[in-house]
Amino acid sequence: MDEHKLAELFRDAARDAPPPSFDVGAVRTASARATARRRSAVAVGAAMAVVLVFGGLVVTSDFMRNTSGDSAAAGSAQDASSPNVSPFGASEPEVLSENGSPDRSGGNPPKIIPEDPSTQGDEPSGSADRTKVGSAQRGCVEVDRELAVALADELSVANADDASPAAANCPSDARGASFLVRDGDRYGTVSAVIAPAGTTGLVPDHSFVDASAKTRGGQELYVLSRSEEGSPDEPFSDDLAGLAQRLAARF
Amino acid sequence: MDQRDEQEFAEYFAARREAVRRTAFLLCGDWHRADDFAQTAFVALHRRWRKVRDKQALDAYVRRSLVRAVIDESRRPWRRERFVDEVPERPSGDGEVADSVATREALVAGLRRVPPRQRAVLVLRFLEGLDVAAAAEALGCSEGTVKSQTSRGLDALREALGDSIDDLRPAS
């Protein structure tokens, strides 16, 4: 077969071309469009990468913060002071204003913090008019993490981090925690306090019901329950003694 | 691109458009699609104009873009070419013009029955006049592959055309 003849046949087959349907302007336009598309794709990709990296950093730092916060708080009872914590300024316990939305089943208790004079000089800001009393009452200002976890477990509270300082008239070497809980139609604050054996006068007033039990370490564990406004009775008041015993068995 | 680059591209485009369209036509067998493929190749060149300045390299780049575009499209399921048993009807008529038209159409129809890659080898070698090495470069394959594809492509073209074109009959 003659390659020249074959080439001639090929050239002849493509000879009668119709008018072209594109010109150099169309090529330039399509090129600019393709370049813009590529640039926008690169920009979108870069933006997504930035968002992913930033999101990853936020999640990681949040996770790290939670982890370090948990480990620092566990067993140390050094949790940061709650906004509900009030300084102790009077010798007699005082029930502060009540707080609480009725549909909460575990969280910050009302401001039923007994006032406790501080001897540490750590008067919080905004309380300059408080009277400083030189008594030794200091306990229960902060949440005792260990007690909070145990109490949350007994009361079936989902998050032990929702604990607040115990609503009780604590001596200085007592430690405690409390939860705002719902028990059927009852609603109120349940506090647990571990105080040295022989401690009395822990219950602020008659609006509380309480029970106590001896811990294995010989200390006294008190459980106090107080109903909130609208609640027919104190939560867990039927089983307060059992609750105290179960908690005491853990310490 | 700056003004001068655009001017150079416009000159190259004007000089090569028809040749590229003809190549595209024999590669795909349809002038509308040929224009699409040719435009695609020129757009690719326009986007890389600053990087491809050598005249020989320009032709090779456009040729490579064109062949790839045609072969890639033939692989897409919704545009995959289908082989048919019958060559389309040849135009009837008498005289030299009618024979010429019939020969042309028979060749285009026969080429469409040749597998895309073998068809590309035939078009590059017999329409573009490339030697084996240049065809291998355009297709991104070895020279041996070009030779074997040429042989198979010619066999496939002969088989598709039967006795339609005398020049394609084997010499023996």
What pLDDT is recorded for position B65? 92
The pLDDT of residue A198: 80
Is A220:A203 a contact under the CB 8 Å cutoff?
no
In angstroms, rounded to a whole number, what is the distance separating the alpha carbons of residues B149 and B152? 5
CB A177 within 8 A of CB A144: yes
A106-115: pLDDT as tens digits: 545 554 555 5
A165 touches A122 (CB < 8 A): no
Of A5, A13, A24, the CB nearest to B104: A13
Q: Which of B13, B17, B25 sits opposite A14 (nearest CB)?
A: B25
8 Å CB contact between A189 and A181:
yes
pLDDT at A96: 45
Mean pLDDT of chain A: 75
User: Residue A123 in contact with residue A80, Cβ under 8 Å?
Assistant: no
pLDDT at A186: 84
Residue-wise pLDDT for B95-150, tens only, equals 555 566 677 788 888 888 888 899 999 999 999 889 999 899 888 889 999 999 99
Look at residue A63 in the predicted model and tell me its pLDDT: 86
Contacts of A30 (CB under 8 A, 6+ apart): B39, B43
Give the span between the Cα atoms of B158 and B74, in whole angstroms: 22
C-alpha span between B50 and B2 (Å, rounded) = 10
Residue-level pLDDT at A123: 45
pLDDT at B37: 94
Closest CA to B25 of B34, B17, B16: B34
pLDDT at A166 (0 to 100): 87
Kindly report the number of other CB atoms within 10 A of residue B165's CB atom: 19
What is chain B's mean pLDDT, rounded?
A: 82
Please report which confidence band the pLDDT of residue B27 belongs to, taking 50, 70 and 90 as the band edges.
very high
Q: Which amino acid is at A58?
A: V
Asked if B129 lies within 8 A of A7 by C-beta distance, the reply is: yes
Query: Which of A133-147, B2-16, B57-71, B122-136 is least confident?
Result: A133-147
3-state secondary structure A185-251: CEEEEEEEEEECCCCCCCCCCCCEEEEEEECCCCCEEEEEEEECCCCCCCCCHHHHHHHHHHHHCCC
Q: Which of A2, A22, A39 to mutate: most B Cβ within 10 Å?
A: A22
Evaluate whether A223 touches A212 at the Cβ level (below 8 Å).
yes
Task: Say what the pLDDT of residue B80 is.
Answer: 54
pLDDT at B15: 93
Q: Which chain B residues touch A24 with a CB distance below 8 Å?
A: 9-10, 13-14
pTM: 0.49
CA-nearest residue to B48 within chain A is A31
From chain B, pick out residues whose CB is under 8 angstroms from the CB of A35. 47
- The pLDDT value recorded for residue B81 is 57
The neighbour count for residue B77, using CB atoms within 10 Å, is 5
C-beta neighbour count of A125 within 10 angstroms: 6
**Cα-based distances in Å from B3 to A36, A218, B17, B39:** 19, 94, 20, 21
Q: Given this model, what pLDDT does residue A89 score?
A: 42
> Min CA distance, A14 vs chain B (Å)?
5
A94-146 per-position pLDDT tens digit: 444 444 444 444 545 554 555 554 455 444 444 444 433 333 345 678 888 88
User: What pLDDT is attached to residue B149?
Assistant: 92
pLDDT score of A120: 53
Please, are residues A203 and A168 in contact by the beta-carbon 8 Å criterion? Answer: yes
Question: In a structure prediction context, what are the per-residue pLDDT tens digits for chain A, which is 251 residues long?
Answer: 577 888 888 888 888 889 999 999 999 999 999 989 989 999 999 999 999 999 999 998 888 887 765 655 554 444 444 444 444 444 444 444 444 444 444 545 554 555 554 455 444 444 444 433 333 345 678 888 888 999 888 888 888 888 888 888 888 888 899 998 888 888 899 999 998 888 877 888 888 888 888 888 888 889 999 888 888 888 888 888 898 888 888 88
Q: How far apart are CA A80 and CA A226, in angstroms?
A: 25
User: Which amino acid makes up residue B103?
Assistant: T
Residues of A in contact with B103 (CB under 8 A): 9, 12-13
Predicted pLDDT of residue A11: 87
Backbone angles phi, psi at A59, to 5 degrees: -65, -45
